[in-house]
Amino acid sequence: MQSVLARSALRVSAPVALRSSAIQRRAFHVDNVVNNTTPFKTDYASRRSFAVKLTAFLLGGFLLPVASSAYQLAKRG
């Protein structure tokens, strides 16, 4: 119980500058120029190849947890 009170007392007495430094900030910047609206390379020779790769990536990311959950449920019995 004493540790809870000690932590809350430290939180109250800590200066604002120390509390705000705990917020993580990303060092990420994308230049705002024409045809550079994504943070990854999109200058493929074919828009169709980019669309196929992006669709495969997004579907893979969506279907992986669904397939693993279905596998675990089927394995259960």
Model confidence pLDDT, tens digit, residues 11-43:
656 555 555 555 666 677 666 777 666 666 666
What is the total count of domains within the chain? 1
Residue 10 maps to a domain = no
Domain of residue 41, residue span:
37-77
If one compares 49 and 20, the residue with the highest pLDDT of the two is 49
Residue 9 maps to a domain = no
- Length reported for the chain: 77
Residue 4 maps to a domain = no
Residue 68 maps to a domain = yes
Residue 13 maps to a domain = no
Residue 66 maps to a domain = yes
Residue 54 maps to a domain = yes
Residue 50 maps to a domain = yes
Question: How much is the pLDDT for 23?
Answer: 61
pLDDT > 70 in the chain, percent: 48
Burial of residue 50, with CB atoms counted within 10 A of its CB: 0-12 exposed, 13-18 middle, 19 or more buried: middle
The answer to pTM > 0.85 is: no
